[in-house]
Amino acid sequence: MKKAIIIILAAVISVLFVSCAEPSEKSGSSLPAQSQADTFRVPIIRYGSVTANDSLIGENTCTLTQLESDIISLSEDGYSPVFVNDLIRYVKYDGTLPDRPVIMLIGETKLYCLSALLPLAQRYGWCFTAAISGSKTDSAPEDAAPEPERSYLGWEDITALRNSGLFEFSATAHDLLCDPERINGGRRQSEDMRSYRRAFFADVLSLRERCYDNCLFKPNSFTFPAGTVSDDFITLANECAFEAYITDDSGVSAIKKGDSSCLLTLKRIDRSGYYDTDDLLAELAQ
């Protein structure tokens, strides 16, 4: 009887994830009609954290000046910004892509997305994909003294950014990675795989439902966090029926029309604050 209940529960969860595909994120980028080859090289540049303070530059942190320099140089080099959803539409739904597409991925949804990145996006006609910071979004309104570089966006801020047409949002885990009893988001001590599976699916599904309840959309892509995550975390994330997955593998992805598998292993380049824009462009060309 217990085995039958578990099988039914797994089936229900699978159906729920598949049914969450719509309504999904929408593209705000302007893509010209063109004759295209089947395959595109698409760099995804991840900005772990962005700061206005030059003294805070780090391996995972670059400055607003560096990010703006990247936008200018990428544009001059012929790159055009797109969303992950533009890749999904190109591969699966007969969409189009510009000649040299590029995605800028923001690792955390902090207030600087609204106060600094949105004005940049408006100035240069650019767009960003941002990974929603799980339960930190729920607690954002409790921040008595919000700071752009430390405080997180609330749901109303995410709605404002989406309404601008210049931001889309990708899912991550909701609470699992914040749980001190879960090393690298994995199983707790003495927790069996069945229990962990239920907890994992409930956690990620909860984030999608929170997005819908508060902002009327459900993310259809998943971004793996920076740093090490457990093998169990990776396995279950890939069972969640998202249409695209941004992994932590380094490199530039090849996107092929009609090949949905290419969306499941998207690579990225983590932007370090220790090198300049020319170094970034050289890495994209490899």
Q: What is the pLDDT of residues 32-56, one digit of tens each?
A: 333 346 899 999 999 999 998 888 8
Question: pLDDT at residue 212 above 80?
Answer: yes
Q: Is the pLDDT of residue 72 over 90?
A: yes
| Cα distance between residue 202 and residue 13, in whole Å | 8
Give the pLDDT score at 146. Answer: 75
Tell whether the model's pLDDT for residue 5 goes beyond 60: no
2-284 topology per CATH: TIM Barrel (3.20.20)
Between CA 85 and CA 3 the distance in angstroms is 38
> Is it true that the peptide bond before 23 is cis, omega within 30 degrees of 0?
yes
CA 51 to CA 223: how far, in whole Å?
A: 21
- Over residues 94-141, the pLDDT tens digits come to 899 999 999 999 998 999 999 999 999 999 999 999 999 778 888 887
DSSP conformation class of 152: B
Distances 210 to 75, 138, 203, 213, 216 between C-alpha atoms, Å: 35, 9, 11, 5, 9
144: Cβ contacts below 8 Å, ≥ 6 apart: none
Cβ atoms 46, 240 nearer than 8 A: no
What's residue 24's pLDDT?
55
Residue 50 burial (10 A CB sphere; 0-12, 13-18, 19+):
buried
Q: Which residues contact 267 (CB under 8 A, 6 or more apart)?
A: 44, 247, 249, 250, 251, 252, 253
Work out the end-to-end distance of the chain between its first and last CA atoms, rounded to an integer number of angstroms: 55
What token pair was written down for 32?
């010209």
Q: Domain segments of the chain: what residues?
A: 2-284
